[in-house]
Amino acid sequence: MRTEPGGCCCRRPLRANDCVANGEVRNGYVRSSAATAAAAAGQIHHVTQNGGLYKRPFNEGFEETPMLVAVLTYVGYGVLTLFGYLRDFLRHWRIEKCHHATEREEQKDFVSLYQDFENFYTRNLYMRIRDNWNRPICSVPGARVDIMERQSHDYNWSFKYTGNVIKDVINMGSYNYLGFARNTGPCQEAAAKVLEEYGVGVCSPRQEIGNLDKHEELEKLVASFLGVEAAMTYGMGFATNSMNIPALVSKGCLILSDELNHASLVLGARLSGATIRVFKHNNMQSLEKLLKDAIVYGQPRTRRPWKKILILVEGIYSMEGSIVRLPEVIALKKKYKAYLYLDEAHSIGALGPTGRGVVDYFGLDPEDVDIMMGTFTKSFGASGGYIGGKKELIDYLRTHSHSAVYATSLSPPVVEQIITSMKCIMGQDGTTLGKECIQQLAENVRYFRRRLKNMGFIIYGNEDSPVVPLMLYMPAKIGAFGREMLKRNIGVVVVGFPATPIIESRARFCLSAAHTKEMLDTALKEIDEVGDLLHLKYSRHRSVPLLDRPFDETTYEETED
């Protein structure tokens, strides 16, 4: 149910504040040769120290941005900004027509609802390429999807639907990792049956009278799927984070959060009232330093020891395609007695030999993760989220989760979809279909990533991650790539600032078990062509492991006031 920003203009709250610093850090390694040497030393150190924690090779790389590309990207934004000001000037003097909606006459003397600057980016940059987002579809979001054709006669300010449908677009955008987004088959049949029996709504929260037998059944199944003592489910993945973290930590507690954590985790952390400190993305040195300092120095000003420390990480980061260094996180968490909250929104089902997510992928014990969170939106083709863990944890959440008290519970047919698809993954339906899907996805991922790399694109992330970001860098190429791909009947997701650092605009492919080799080959062929057309093959095949990207020691902290 949760995901990353819908389009290039959505805010990623935490990062919105420090994204400039972030951009600098990321570019940092372009300018520093000394840092590279230090990083090399760090790498050796790192391998000797933590290499033993991994049972499988962990190949994750981030090729650095070529200097020329970085400069040109900044120039691109500079030109766009200048033009933006020019056009704002023309609009102000009514030389250019204003398309956006305006305030009511009666309320013109109210304090303006928006700050003008707030909308500058939307008006002048996003609006130019708005057609790449919110493309309406009119079919199952499966391997192929039908997209409604739309046109704009006023430079994207409004869209008209032509009534035509672009048929059978290869879908590289939906999070349909295991291919359970289907309108036929056992899941649909089971959901239909429950729908006819129960209806769609529940009309009450869990604690009142919205706790159906179906919910209890689902929770038992989720617990056994995850290998934990108990589990609880919620109606929305986003809300699972934002409405449960406040139940777990409060003022006087410390949250250590990865800098690229999803907006829902950030919101939950903020609502909790705990102090938040942010560590560099997937960087264990940064995390360890924060942990050590937190315990040694205690709370700022009062110097009291922290009540508890909660580490927030995601399994797969949906914009970077990276996989959390879980073995190291767990080792650190144990050493420093912190608690671990693992958000498996993208990794559950999509990773691991049995589809149990990132814990399964690394061959770890689910008991080592205190809070296992995930969503049903992606791999299970449904909606909602869950939290799994020890029985005491779940009992506490049953009584204290905001969601259980105030929000309507999951819709019964959605519950049934989750139950059926989960049983399929577990092999409880008597077939090997689930296992085949998991294998197919893993194969697709390796194949697709390898081919793209060989073509010379800069691809981020882990070689096993079904989220594949392809770097575009320049703002003009965001729109061009999205449009060119759709012209070739391939639906892709493109993202730019503020969902990514300002110069690291990218396209993102989400692989699915439902993609056949032919589809992938077609897609690859077209990507290759568009890549040549737009000069996207930046790679010089020098990948830098994430850990060795230099990071500055400054960390960003916020407390609820």
Partner 1 sequence: MATVAEQWVLVEMVQALYEAPAYHLILEGILILWIIRLLFSKTYKLQERSDLTVKEKEELIEEWQPEPLVPPVSKDHPALNYNIVSGPPSHNIVVNGKECINFASFNFLGLLDNPRLKAAALASLKKYGVGTCGPRGFYGTFDVHLDLEDRLAKFMKTEEAIIYSYGFATIASAIPAYSKRGDIVFVDKAACFAIQKGLQASRSDIKLFNHNDMDDLERLLKEQEIEDQKNPRKARVTRRFIVVEGLYMNTGTICPLPELVKLKYKYKARIFLEESLSFGVLGEHGRGVTEHFGIDIDDIDLISANMENSLASIGGFCCGRSFVIDHQRLSGQGYCFSASLPPLLAAAAIEALNIMEENPGIFAVLKEKCKRIHKALQGISGLKVVGESISPAFHLQLEESTGCRERDVKLLQEIVTQCMDRGIALTQARYLEKEEKYLPPPSIRVVVTVEQTEEELEKAATTISKVAQTVLL
**Which of positions 209-228 make contact with partner 1 (CB under 8 A)?**
209-213, 216
What would the two tokens of residue 260 be?
A: 């690229």
Taking alpha carbons only, the member of 401, 115, 363 closest to residue 239 is: 401
Write the binding mask 394 to 433 for partner 1: x where contact by CB under 8 A, - elsewhere: -xxxxxx-xxxxxxx--xxxx--x----------------
Write the binding mask 233 to 262 for partner 1: x where contact by CB under 8 A, - elsewhere: --xxxxx---x--x-x-------------x
Let me know if 378 is a catalytic residue.
yes
Contacts of 144 (CB under 8 A, 6+ apart): 168, 169, 170, 171, 519
Q: Judged by CB under 8 A, does residue 557 bind partner 1?
A: no
Let me know if 193 is a catalytic residue.
no
Alpha-carbon 348 to chain mean position: 13
The stretch near partner 1 (CB under 8 A) out of 37-45, 193-201, 444-452, 544-552 is 193-201
Near partner 1 in 52-111, by CB under 8 A: 101-104, 106-107, 109-111
Q: Judged by CB under 8 A, does residue 292 bind partner 1?
A: yes
The stretch near partner 1 (CB under 8 A) out of 23-31, 173-181, 427-435, 442-450 is 173-181
Q: Given the residues 262, 378, 453, 515, select the one marked as catalytic.
A: 378
Q: How far apart are CA 186 and CA 197, in angstroms?
A: 17
Task: Work out the widest C-alpha separation in the chain, in whole angstroms.
Answer: 70
Q: How far apart are CA 118 and CA 167, in angstroms?
A: 37
CB 491 within 8 A of CB 145: yes
Q: Judged by CB under 8 A, does residue 141 bind partner 1?
A: yes
Taking alpha carbons only, the member of 359, 353, 318 closest to residue 340 is: 359
The stretch near partner 1 (CB under 8 A) out of 20-28, 42-50, 145-153, 440-448 is 145-153
What would the two tokens of residue 151 be?
A: 């046109």
Nearer to partner 1, 56 or 307 (CB): 307
Among 58, 62, 361, 376, binds partner 1 (CB under 8 A): 376
Among 39, 187, 452, 502, binds partner 1 (CB under 8 A): 187
Q: How far apart are CA 437 and CA 512, in angstroms?
A: 9
- As measured in angstroms, the least distance from the Cβ of 146 to partner 1 is 10
C-alpha distances out from residue 477 to 131, 318, 321, 471, Å: 14, 21, 20, 10
Q: Judged by CB under 8 A, does residue 137 bind partner 1?
A: yes
- As measured in angstroms, the least distance from the Cβ of 337 to partner 1 is 5
Near partner 1 in 18-57, by CB under 8 A: none
Rounded to 10 degrees, the C-alpha dihedral 482/488/490/491 comes to 30
Write the binding mask 427 to 456 for partner 1: x where contact by CB under 8 A, - elsewhere: ------------------------------
Concatenating the DSSP letter of every residue in 121-145 gives: HHHHTGGGGGGGSS--B-S-SSSEE
CB 242 within 8 A of CB 234: no
Nearer to partner 1, 69 or 486 (CB): 486
The values of phi and psi at residue 473, to 5°, are 65, -65
The distance in angstroms from the start CA to the end CA of the chain is 29
- As measured in angstroms, the least distance from the Cβ of 94 to partner 1 is 19
Among 1, 290, 359, 468, binds partner 1 (CB under 8 A): 1
- The one-letter amino acid code at 547 reads L
- The size of the interface with partner 1 (CB under 8 A), counted in residues, is 132
Nearer to partner 1, 337 or 517 (CB): 337
Among 44, 68, 95, 115, binds partner 1 (CB under 8 A): 115
- The one-letter amino acid code at 350 reads A
Q: Given the residues 214, 280, 281, 346, select the one marked as catalytic.
A: 346
Among 25, 143, 145, 523, binds partner 1 (CB under 8 A): 145
Q: How far apart are CA 546 and CA 26, in angstroms?
A: 11
Among 51, 94, 114, 163, binds partner 1 (CB under 8 A): 114
What would the two tokens of residue 186 be?
A: 């056992």
Nearer to partner 1, 92 or 99 (CB): 99
CB 378 within 8 A of CB 176: yes
Among 96, 154, 367, 392, binds partner 1 (CB under 8 A): 392
Among 307, 446, 525, 535, binds partner 1 (CB under 8 A): 307
Residues designated as active site? 318, 346, 378
